[in-house]
Amino acid sequence: MLTIAAATLAGDAAYAGIPGAAMLFGRALAAYPIGWLMDAAGRRPALALGYLMGVVGAVVGALAIMGESYAGLVAGAAVFGMSRASSDQSRYVAAEVHSARRRGRIIGRMVFAGTIGSIGGPLTVYVSTNLAEGAGINELAGPWLAAAVLVGVAVSLILTFVRPDPRDMSVASPLDVVTRGGSDAAVRPLREIFRAVNVRVAVLAMLVGQLVMVMVMTIAPLHLHNHDHVPTTIAIAVAVHTVGMFGLAALTGRLVDRYGRMPVIVLGAGQLVAASVLTPFSADLGVMLLAMFLVGYGWNMCFVAGSALLIDGLSPRERGRTQGAGDALAAVAAATGSLATGPVFSAGGMNWVGVAALAGSLVLVTVLARRGLARARVAGA
């Protein structure tokens, strides 16, 4: 609905993707400040503030549509995107009050909860557009008003029920297993934190997963449409992709806890490579379904395992800003993939999209291979 509203207000389909990109960049812009606030003031106020920005952005977006202001819609989308920074950080907040042995499955459950949104979102759009039309409001404003209400409920729930603050629980709880020695460890500057190999690998896994997944997923429906596939089959392909992204997240979390963070990231990277190789041959629906699932589940494995790996080795008062910085980089990667895939597709079709996705995937594979070789040398010394 966002692209439809943008194209309608701008009067030109060429501007349809800008509000979506603004939403992604808003998410990237707010990720680090929200993380910094989590360390400074606690998880609860930071989460609430982030979601409150979502309420403001949704109201601005609705008013922009009703006032036929394209610039207002872009601004509303950017502010609304900032709330995603809080949503992203919530997986870490839920995981940090559990021991390291359980963090993978907790993050997996949080990601699995995205399935509710992927199913409930379209239903909310249908209901809210009908309600808005019945009230004499531009139907395209309905989803924005519904978002304002739902995110407002989230703010109320956070302020009411998230007590005590998870940051304090993490510091005090005997379940908190921090490899650096717990809450007494000195808080390191961000530059020093990112010198740690595991931190860099964790962030790179999430970054590459976002970039590759967004590049393939964004353009796949248009690619299928250009090969005369009907909307029903395109919807099936999107559904298969969604199952890969969210539906198996609980299983991924268990794999992370049982076999370790790195092995699951390696499996995720392999699936991203496979999806990238299959993409140029995806005019066939069966191949596209396989590619869409693999790129979705590859992202899932990199995201869940990368998130769990990032928490490991950070003291509670280092986590917010470090995780915020990682999420900011991943959001920039997602925005870059969203903006780049169209021109790449226009220049060389799905072949070039596959090549670009493969190049990104191989960066992660190379880093993982070098780390594995380095560990083997140390073990053999």
Strands (E), the chain: none
The CATH superfamily holding the domain 185-381 is MFS general substrate transporter like domains (1.20.1250.20)
Average pLDDT over all residues of the chain: 88
Say whether pLDDT at 218 is over 80: yes
Model pLDDT, residue 53: 96
Residue 336: both structure tokens together = 């870059």
Condensed to tens digits (0 to 9), the pLDDT of residues 77-125 reads: 999 999 989 999 999 999 988 888 899 999 999 999 877 877 777 778 8
Q: Return left, alpha or beta for 11; rule: phi > 0 is left, psi -120 to 50 is alpha, else beta.
A: left
Q: Do domains 1-177 and 185-381 have the same CATH topology?
A: yes
Does residue 182 register a pLDDT over 70? no
pLDDT digits (tens, 9 = 90+) for 270-303: 999 999 999 888 778 888 899 999 999 999 999 9
Instruction: Give the chain's length.
Output: 381
**Residue in this structure with the two tokens 């509670």, named with its chain if needed:** 316
Hey, where are the domains in the chain?
Answer: 1-177, 185-381
**Domain 1-177: CATH architecture, name and number where available:** Up-down Bundle (1.20)
- Which band of pLDDT confidence, cut at 50, 70 and 90, is reported for residue 185? low
Q: Do the Cβ atoms of 289 and 236 come closer than 8 Å?
A: yes
Q: Please, are residues 28 and 328 in contact by the beta-carbon 8 Å criterion?
A: yes
Single-letter amino acid, residue 318: E
Predicted local confidence at residue 381, as pLDDT: 53
pLDDT tens for residues 356-374?
999 999 999 999 999 887 7
User: Residue 6 — pLDDT band, cuts 50, 70, 90?
Assistant: confident
Residue-level pLDDT at 13: 66
Res 238: pLDDT: 85
pLDDT in tens, 131-176: 998 999 999 999 999 999 999 999 999 999 998 999 888 754 343 4
**7 vs 311 pLDDT, higher one:** 311
Answer yes or no: are the C-beta atoms of 22 and 77 closer than 8 Å: yes
Q: What distances in angstroms separate CA 70 from CA 55, 59, 60, one per listed residue?
A: 19, 14, 11
The predicted model gives 199-220 an average pLDDT of 93
Triad 361, 235, 221: Cα angle to 5°: 50
User: Concatenated DSSP letters for 210-274?
Assistant: HHHHHHHHHHHHHHHHHTT--HHHHHHHHHHHHIIIIITHHHHHHHHHHH-HHHHHHHHHHHHHH
- 361: closest CA among 161, 184, 212? 212
Q: What sign does the CA torsion over 293, 294, 299, 304 have?
A: positive
Closest CA to 197 of 340, 58, 26, 375: 375
Angle between helices 114-134 and 142-161 (to 10 degrees): 130
Per the omega criterion (within 30 degrees of 0), is the bond before 174 cis? no
Distance CA 86, CA 50 (A): 5
> Could you give the CA distance from residue 78 to residue 260 in angstroms, rounded to a whole number?
37
CA-CA distance, 53 to 85, in Å (whole number)? 10
